[in-house]
Amino acid sequence: MALGPGVEAPDFEAETHRGDRLRLSSLRGRVVVLYFYPRAMTSGCTREAQRFNQLLDEFEKLGAVVLGASTDPPERNRRFAEKLGLRFTLLSDPDGSIARLYGVLKEGTKRPSAKRVTFIIDEDGVIREVIENVRPAEKHADLALEAVRRLRQG
């Protein structure tokens, strides 16, 4: 079960699609939209990433950072980001440890993957909203933007 609102977001460090490393706690003081996606290069994840990319300026106007995380290796995420021209950071979680921390790891599959879940994390590192079970996938970005707006109006 995914972590819920009011819980401190577990800290982690992950390799980005750019080849550097990012620690979640380094983003304290900013709102973080952490969205997990099952697999790069698939149709649903492509539409989802494209929509986050389309809305990125709106997120940034609200002071929010968008991070996409999957169990894909960094090279696959790099190709995905380049193919789509993504302007936000993708994180690799190849062993599923970050997805497990957040309660979104799909169990019992050949290759571990994450469920499609988005966490809205406030400036203090506390999860404020969790968005799950959204179909179609691209609606995730719109719902996340609404959640950030609510947090800012808060």
Q: Which residues are catalytic?
A: 45
Q: Which of 146, 88, 125, 128 is nearest to 37 (CA)?
A: 88
Q: How far apart are CA 80 and CA 63, in angstroms?
A: 25
SS3 97: helix
Q: Where are the beta strands (DSSP E) in the chain?
A: 13-16, 21-23, 31-36, 64-70, 89-92, 105-106, 113-114, 117-121, 127-132
β pairing state of 113-114 and 117-121: unpaired
Amino acid at position 65, single letter: V
Whether cis (ω within 30° of 0) applies to the bond prior to 136 is yes
> How far apart are the C-alpha atoms of 46 and 92, rounded to whole Å?
16
